[in-house]
């Protein structure tokens, strides 16, 4: 292999990661072969293993890349918004657009494979946790900005708790759409979520009466 400059090596590595991600989205990573990745990346098997020692290492790199790409997009929202309200509106738009993307079901199928693999593979679990921790960190930063700008009440809103809830809702909506298809009202569920956030649906948790002894 010709000697490449460090920036050229990194550029080629990123091209391979993107090609592998395309293959994984198309077929799942268990069904994807290294030959398919090589064809997608226009590289020989020997060239592929020059960058990645194993398919597992490549899967981990795809997880890292996906997390970084999402967070960079999210960070630009915070950076370019002049207020917390503007950032929240833009985040909501991105949230809806993502859920309505026709490619989302493929990404969810791949994510479910990753979850299953993460339960068995420590390396994959570590990479996956780091990728989602980046997303949660951005959401916490968004909520903290909302508190600073008076959008949220600091006495009742905890950034980590709110970020955890939003991530759980986002994940649940993706899985619901994938499993139940037209029987799952994704748009209506998102609308209800925004109504709850705006305080137009009761959000007090009912506390059951404690029976007297």
In the chain, the number of structural domains is 2
User: Do 89 and 26 share a structural domain?
Assistant: no
* Nearest CA-CA partner of 17 in 1, 35, 40, 33: 40
pLDDT attached to residue 82: 87
Name the one residue in this structure whose structure tokens are 């630009």.
76
CA distance 162 to 200: 18
pLDDT attached to residue 152: 87
CA distance 192 to 10: 44
Residue 1 domain-assigned (yes or no)? no
Q: What is the mean pLDDT of residues 46-52?
A: 91
Q: What is the CATH number of the domain that holds 111?
A: 1.10.357.10
User: Do 48 and 75 share a structural domain?
Assistant: no
User: Do 79 and 15 share a structural domain?
Assistant: no
Helices (H), 81-158: 84-100, 104-118, 122-148
Residue 115 has pLDDT above 70, yes or no: yes
Residues 25 and 106 sit within 8 Å (Cβ to Cβ): yes
* Nearest CA-CA partner of 172 in 160, 189, 191: 189
CA distance 157 to 203: 13
**N-to-C CA span, the chain:** 80
CA distance 33 to 133: 29
Q: What is the CATH number of the domain that holds 49?
A: 1.10.10.60
CA distance 162 to 155: 13
| Residue span of the structural domain in which 24 resides | 10-53
Q: How many CB atoms lie within 10 A of CB 1?
A: 10
187-206 pLDDT, tens per residue?
Answer: 888 888 877 766 555 555 55
User: Do 49 and 68 share a structural domain?
Assistant: no
Residue 81 domain-assigned (yes or no)? yes
Mean pLDDT is lowest, of 73-87, 89-103, 133-147, 190-204, for 190-204
Token couple for 107: 């990404």
Query: Which DSSP category does 103 fall into?
Result: T
CA distance 85 to 77: 11
């Amino acid at each position: 292999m010709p000697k490449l400059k460090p920036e050229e090596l990194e550029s080629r590595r990123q091209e391979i990661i993107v090609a592998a991600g395309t293959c994984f989205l198309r077929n799942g990573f268990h069904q994807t072969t290294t030959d398919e990745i090589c064809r997608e990346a226009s590289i020989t098997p020997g060239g592929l293993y020059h960058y990645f020692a194993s398919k597992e290492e490549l899967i981990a790199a795809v997880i890292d890349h996906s997390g970084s790409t999402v967070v960079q997009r999210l960070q630009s929202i915070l950076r370019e918004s002049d207020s917390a309200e503007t950032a929240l509106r833009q985040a909501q738009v991105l949230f809806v657009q993502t859920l309505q993307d026709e490619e989302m079901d493929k990404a969810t199928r791949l994510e479910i494979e990753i979850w299953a693999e993460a339960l068995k593979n420590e390396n994959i679990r570590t990479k996956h946790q780091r990728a989602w921790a980046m997303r949660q960190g951005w959401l916490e930063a968004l909520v903290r900005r909302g508190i600073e700008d008076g959008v949220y009440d600091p006495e009742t809103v905890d950034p980590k708790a709110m970020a955890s809830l939003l991530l759980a809702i986002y994940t649940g909506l993706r899985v619901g759409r994938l499993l139940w298809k037209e029987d799952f009202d994704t748009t209506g569920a998102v609308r209800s979520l925004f109504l709850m956030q705006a305080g137009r649906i009761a959000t007090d948790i009912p506390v059951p009466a404690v029976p007297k002894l």
